[in-house]
Amino acid sequence: MESDTLLITGGTVVTAEGCFPADVLCRGERIVALLAPGEGRPEGDRLDASGCYVLPGGVDVHVHLQMPVGEFVSTDDFFSGTVAAACGGTTTVVDFATQERGQPLEEAVAQRRAEADGKVAVDYSLHLAVTDASEGTLRALPRLVEEGYASFKLYTVYPALYLEDAEILGLLEVARETGAMPLVHCENRAIVEHCTRALLSAGKREPRYHPQARPAEAEAEAVRRILALAEVAGAPVCIAHLSTRLALGEVCRARTRGQEVYVETCPHYLLLTEEEYARPGFEGARYVLTPPLRKETDRQALWSALVQGTIDLVSTDHCPWNYRGQKERGREDFSLIPNGAPGIETRLALLWSEGVGRGRLSPEAFVALTSTNPARLFGLYPRKGAIVPGADADLVIWDPARKVTLRAETLHQQVDYCPYEGWEVVGYPRDVLLRGRPIVREGRFVGEPGWGVFVPRRRTRGSFEKPVGTVPNVIPSSTPSTG
């Protein structure tokens, strides 16, 4: 781009609240005005968006790039993963600074920043994945929240990550006091460990036993318990990657009691079922992710919840492992298969195609679920997730007619398979701008490592009063407080 002024003309702007024809005027890194079509005649560059929607850049608040687990590291690093995000229309990702038990939290944050800074192709931020509630950790948290790490990731399972209930309670109290948002992975550890042992000792070692090791009750119990702990602590809570009808019931009951709870799900729970585990040979290993894919009844319940506004955001839990050499580690024992699947690049196209394309979601609800709500809940709004004067000019020129067949070979995710191989999607990003700068043109990545920056996040104090009416999926904009 030659000039620092850019006018995006002829498109239909979609926000969480409405859909209307407008030209978008950007200056430098920011949006400066929405103009009636044809009204603006500024000097500078123009980008023709005729026939396209203009969306706020996607915000994916749940990704695991170059995540070490045992002997492996997830296959997308901070560059390849964010190139894939950009090509899929996502301009902000939130990854994790994961503390090793006993490690000073500040050190975990500094290490992760050193891995990502200068490498990312889109903007990014970090959740604090806390693995102990020691005095040192509790002392460090308020300052880190003030510095822009305004959310905690808490785990109820995984040997290296889980927290005891008493620790979770203490951390939820810190979340209440600091205004940080807790994002909690909910599974009952005893159930998972017991079922895994029982299956393996009965010789049931193939990938198809993965869902039996992590039954719906394990998720529902942990959701119920976390909601009880959050109620006692007086903290809001966001349930990570919710996958079952049973757990949705727990959330609905808590909300009826007046509790402030938010729900994240992922495209794979909306689009796939546990039938994938019945693939021949070891192929089901591609779908070993946690919580597991569920039954058709769960999938249907999640879609209803999405449409009704019970689910607030759709993130990816992008955590790619190669089938060859990594997933294969679990050939003799499903519990050794590294958990996770890729999705950072396909989230928007799949949800648009299957949601908007099939008449289940309005374009506004799509924007709310994939950009505005995650930005609001995790302290990025209105810098991100909004098309308003003053917001970062993170914009996607979305071509609703573009058909793409998803293939691992042509996607930018650095992993040897795509869970949706051969699926055709209708609707895809044509151009993507990051703070006013083109990073995707006509579907081609044109950015560079380091064009993305770390974005500090403000603490948020949510309130669960959603607007009643036509657009249920919008978290009210009055909720973020300055921090």
Measured from the CB atom, the residue of 219 and 317 that comes closer to Zn ion is 317
* The two three-digit tokens of residue 481, written as one number: 């407080």
The dihedral built from the CA positions of residue 469, 360, 372 and 170, taken in this order, carries a sign that is positive
Q: Determine which residue in the list 274, 317, 364, 394 makes contact with Zn ion, applying CB under 5 A.
A: 317
Instruction: Of 91, 103, 164, give the one whose Cα is nearest residue 128.
Output: 103
Name which of ligand DUC, Zn ion, none residue 74 binds, using a CB cut-off of 5 to 8 Å depending on partner kind.
none
Binding status of residue 76 toward Zn ion by CB under 5 A? no
Among ligand DUC, Zn ion, none, partner that 355 touches (CB below 5 to 8 angstroms by kind): none
Q: What's the closest the beta carbon of residue 341 comes to ligand DUC, in angstroms?
A: 7
Nearest residue (beta carbon) to Zn ion: 317
In the 8-state DSSP scheme, what is residue 392? B
Q: Of the ranges 207-215, 316-324, 381-389, 391-399, which one interacts with Zn ion (CB under 5 A)?
A: 316-324
| Min CB(73)–ligand DUC separation in Å | 13
Using DSSP, state whether 468 is helix, strand or coil.
coil
Q: How far is Cα 409 from Cα 341, in angstroms, rounded to an integer?
A: 16
Question: Does 431 contact Zn ion by CB under 5 A?
Answer: no
Contact at 8 Å (CB) between 389 and 31? yes
Strands 437-441 and 444-445, by their bridges, are: antiparallel
Instruction: Fill in the per-residue mask, 44 to 83: x = in contact with ligand DUC (CB under 6 A), - = not in contact.
Output: --------------------x-------------------
CB of 291 to ligand DUC, least distance (A): 8
Tokens of 52: 């396209």
Burial of 478 (0-12, 13-18, 19+ CB in 10 A): exposed
Pick the closer one to ligand DUC by CB: 315 or 362.
Answer: 315
CB 395 within 8 A of CB 34: no
Q: Is 413 in the site for ligand DUC (CB under 6 A)?
A: no
Closer residue to ligand DUC in complex, CB, 340/447: 340
Smallest distance, Zn ion to C-beta of residue 124, A:
15
Give the pairing type, strands 53-56 and 395-405: antiparallel
Asked if 339 is part of the footprint of ligand DUC (rule: CB under 6 A), the reply reads: yes
CA–CA separation, 362 and 469 (whole Å) = 13
271 binds, among Zn ion, ligand DUC, none (CB under 5 to 8 A by kind): none
What would the x/- binding string for ligand DUC be over residues 379 to 398, using CB under 6 A? --------------------
Tell me how far apart the 2 most distant CA atoms of the chain are, in Å.
73
Task: Note whether 60 binds Zn ion by CB under 5 A.
Answer: no
Work out what residue 339 binds among Zn ion, ligand DUC, none; the CB cut-off runs from 5 to 8 Å by kind. Answer: ligand DUC
Which x/- pattern, by CB under 6 A, does the window 425-464 give for ligand DUC?
A: ----------------------------------------
Interface residue with ligand DUC among 27, 112, 185, 245 (CB under 6 A) is 185
**Least distance from ligand DUC to the Cβ atom of residue 97, Å:** 15
Q: How far is residue 213's CA from residue 289's CA, in Å, rounded to a whole number?
A: 12
In whole angstroms, what is the distance from residue 362 CA to residue 282 CA?
38
| Sign, Cα dihedral of 318, 322, 326, 330 | positive
In the shown chain, the binding pattern of residues 271 to 300 toward ligand DUC, with x for contact by CB under 6 A and - for none, equals: ------------------xx----------
Contact (CB, 8 A) for 129 and 153: yes
281-320 in b/e form (b: 16+ CB < 10 A) is ebebbbbbbbbbbbeeebbebbbebbbebbbbbbbbbbbb
Vertex 89: Cα angle to 84 and 95 (nearest 5): 60
Q: How far apart are CA 400 and CA 388, in angstroms?
A: 22
Task: Tell the smallest beta-carbon distance from residue 318 to Zn ion (Å).
Answer: 8
Binding footprint of Zn ion on the chain (CB under 5 A): 317
Binding footprint of ligand DUC on the chain (CB under 6 A): 64, 185, 289-290, 317, 319, 339-340
